[in-house]
Structure 1
Amino acid sequence: MKLSLQQLSLHLNQSLASIYLLSGDEPLLAIEASNLIKKTAADKGFSEHTRIHTEANNDWGKTLYHVAHSLSLFSTKQIIELNLTTIKFNQTNTKLLQEYAQQPANDVVLLIQTEKIDTKTEQTKWFQTIEKNSIFIPLWPIPANHLPQWILQRAKQLGLTITQDAAILLAEQVEGNLFAAAQEIEKLTLLNLSETIDKSTIENTITDNTRFDVFNLVDSILLGNSERALRILKNLFAEGIEPTLILWAITRELRTLADIISKQKQGINLTTLFSQHRIWEKRQGAVKTFLKNNTLETCQQHLITAAHIDRLIKGAETGNLHYAMETWITSL
């Protein structure tokens, strides 16, 4: 059954399904939806938690069956996270996933996360089987004209009152980045403002372009300023920012850049590609600098390194995570 993100909370207040499928390229929404499902399951006694890493596991379908049907000495209820790095998988995994969807294990909540599922994939048998036997939640990016309303609602959830003008200004400042918007709203809560937050308050409190955040890290990388990028990265580590978020921001940018380079070779002009990928004018100069200095092959090589770092984060490989990320950043 297909639900919108807004319907998820109501659904979880009433029931808990055996399978959830989250699909989309908006990580803040994916993280928060995933956390909401896992918290609800944990509150209902699903105390064991297993993650299946598909990057280095071509037989993840078999792993899913083994984990789901194995008895635990510590808990009879478990949450299994299956993070699919691609929606194109081999015949064995396709068959096993369909079979599992039709007969899910008892006392198991399976949480599947994927990239955006396109129209072609929606016509496949495996997807239709999953959708029929699960709660499917597509996570769509927030359109630019809807972002002020999203900011107003999020602020209200945190006990803040923001004027429409203030929300519009904040939306313009973050340029569509939900992480940045959420970060700024969180900072406003720390100011303990008792009055309504208006446009002047936002102007006085919003951080400027020199802030050490994930998005400035990406821009420093695009501009080839490895020294500044490394300094920002170390500051993010010191602030306790999740490495997952840092990795996501950089890999998303690399995938976008790889697609732009590929489409340019097909004759599509850069203005059209900027529009398709929602690259605002303020960032276009940095993107052009990167495109001038890199190729499709270098982007792909950087993404291979990113996959290695992802495995370090998830514990699938051992190594010094901070050193690996610092080395990667300086090579970009």
Structure 2
Amino acid sequence: MKIYHNKLQQTLSQGFKPVWLVFGDEPWQKNDSLAQIKNHAQQHGFSEIIRFSSDNKFDWQQLMDEYQSMSLFASQRIIEVEFTTIKIGDSGNKALLALSEVIEKNATLQDVIFIFHGPKLDGPSANRKWFKTLTQLGCYVPIYDIDIQALPRWLQSQARYFNVNLAPELSLLLIELFEGNLPALAQELQKLSLLFPQNQLISLQAAEQLVIKQAKFNPFQIIDALLMGNCKKCIAMLDQIQQEGIAPGQAIWIFHKEINQLYAMLDKITQGKTLNDIYKEYRIWDKRKPLYQHALTHISLNNVKRAMSRLADIDLLSKTNSEFNAYILLADLCVTLYHGETMQHFSLNYEYS
């Protein structure tokens, strides 16, 4: 059978399954799935874990030998197999098919659980006979990335799990800060569950400073100043994070995301859309509307285009030429957004300008 991560606990409670397959690349869901399966098994007496890691030279017969051997330590065992590659060849395919036959014959014993896990499966691998056979014997949990549309549902689900009651604006802040980093977001929820009483509504004001203080790198520290046109403050912050050793690529990514959004918003204004329509489309919460109102009324579409072009050049220079300080170039970018007509006459190649 095939299920998704959010149905795993329910499926575990429905009874013994000799085989679990967890494949995908998103780390938090993958680690959480493996932990849930192992914890559930250990609660039911599977106290010994034997681990294998397969590569191109792996001897697949080891799995059959281990399965058929008698354990010296426990009557119930978990055999965990990590696939470092999903290309297991004909020998792996034959060995796993043979193992499947033996598992099916001994299904009533319920003394061994296999956990197979690895990277995302491609189409041909998912259609291999070994995989289909093992899936029929047990349960396959595919792990997919959680995109921005699904992230609010995931956040609320995890908040309920930790008995954390998030105010809507706090949820938006967490999504902005930790999008693309589920492990860090889950850790933040755990921290909030320890610091606030169960089910107490946690407001943005109550948690904002705590969250921002603990975040390794907070985009609002620079983006808010940028949206308000405070270029001097932006430059000071860029200098600060450079001193803290933050990789330029992180800052470039944040600027890229924000400037592209500003371009899209300004383009919609030229098409006749109102600010309220734009705020709704881009999910701009009330507290941040004044920031965007300032930016959208003080930044021209032409200057955003100039900034996008210069940002592409900055990204290239930062990756190909160690002679340039990417933070100086990003300071130029901040000024370009508001004074692009002047900055376009200055070259980013400051060594020769």
Is 1:145 the counterpart of 2:149? The answer is yes
- Cα displacement string for residues 42-81 of structure 1 (whole angstroms, at most 9, x for unaligned residues): 11111111000224x7234111111111111221210011
Higher deviation after alignment, 19-28 or 65-74: 65-74
Is 1:35 the counterpart of 2:38? The answer is no
Number of residue-to-residue matches in the alignment: 233
SS in 1 for 2:320: helix
Is 1:196 the counterpart of 2:201? The answer is yes
Is 1:8 the counterpart of 2:8? The answer is yes
TM-score with structure 2 setting the length: 0.58
Match of 2:211 among 192, 200, 206: 206
Letter matched to residue 81 of structure 2: L
Letter matched to residue 26 of structure 2: E
Higher deviation after alignment, 104-113 or 285-294: 285-294
Is 1:74 the counterpart of 2:73? The answer is yes
CA distance in 2, matches of 1:92, 1:33: 28
Is 1:292 the counterpart of 2:320? The answer is yes
Ranges of 4+ aligned residues in structure 1 off by more than 4 Å: 227-230, 283-291
SS in 2 for 1:110: strand
SS in 2 for 1:41: helix
- Cα displacement string for residues 130-169 of structure 1 (whole angstroms, at most 9, x for unaligned residues): 2222201111111212212211221221121012222122
Letter matched to residue 15 of structure 1: G
CA contact (8 A) 1:147 1:176 kept: no
CA contact (8 A) 2:26 2:143 kept: yes
Letter matched to residue 292 of structure 1: T
CA distance in 2, matches of 1:67, 1:290: 52
Alignment of 1:113-152 (within 5 A): 113-152=117-156
1:100 corresponds in structure 2 to 99
- Cα displacement string for residues 142-198 of structure 1 (whole angstroms, at most 9, x for unaligned residues): 121221221122122112101222212211111221012112112212323463112
CA distance in 2, matches of 1:136, 1:17: 11
Distance 1:124 1:163, change over 3 A: same
- Cα displacement string for residues 293-331 of structure 1 (whole angstroms, at most 9, x for unaligned residues): 79xxxxxxxxxxxxxxxxxxxxxxxxxxxxxxxxxxxxx
Distance 1:78 1:185, change over 3 A: same
CA distance in 2, matches of 1:209, 1:292: 32
Alignment of 1:250-269 (within 5 A): none
CA distance in 1, matches of 2:76, 2:130: 26
Return the offset for 1:285. Answer: 9.8
Is 1:110 the counterpart of 2:109? The answer is no
Distance 1:97 1:206, change over 3 A: same
CA contact (8 A) 2:17 2:137 kept: no
CA distance in 1, matches of 2:313, 2:216: 19
SS in 2 for 1:79: strand
CA contact (8 A) 1:50 1:80 kept: yes
SS in 2 for 1:143: coil
CA distance in 2, matches of 1:47, 1:209: 37
SS in 2 for 1:50: strand
CA distance in 2, matches of 1:51, 1:9: 23
Is 1:64 the counterpart of 2:66? The answer is no
Distance 1:286 1:159, change over 3 A: farther
Distance 1:284 1:83, change over 3 A: farther
CA distance in 1, matches of 2:76, 2:317: 51
CA contact (8 A) 1:20 1:136 kept: yes
CA contact (8 A) 1:102 1:129 kept: no
1:46 corresponds in structure 2 to 46
- Cα displacement string for residues 62-107 of structure 1 (whole angstroms, at most 9, x for unaligned residues): 1111111111122121001100011101211111012212322651
Distance 1:63 1:292, change over 3 A: farther
Return the offset for 1:20. Answer: 0.3
CA distance in 2, matches of 1:172, 1:212: 12
CA distance in 2, matches of 1:80, 1:286: 50
Distance 1:164 1:285, change over 3 A: farther
Letter matched to residue 76 of structure 2: K
CA distance in 2, matches of 1:209, 1:59: 43
CA distance in 2, matches of 1:290, 1:45: 55
CA distance in 2, matches of 1:286, 1:88: 39
CA distance in 2, matches of 1:63, 1:228: 46
2:325 corresponds in structure 1 to none
Residue identity (%): 29
TM-score with structure 1 setting the length: 0.62
SS in 2 for 1:14: coil
CA distance in 2, matches of 1:286, 1:52: 45
- Cα displacement string for residues 253-300 of structure 1 (whole angstroms, at most 9, x for unaligned residues): xxxxxxxxxxxxxxxxxx9xxxxxxxxx9x999986775379xxxxxx
CA distance in 1, matches of 2:205, 2:187: 18
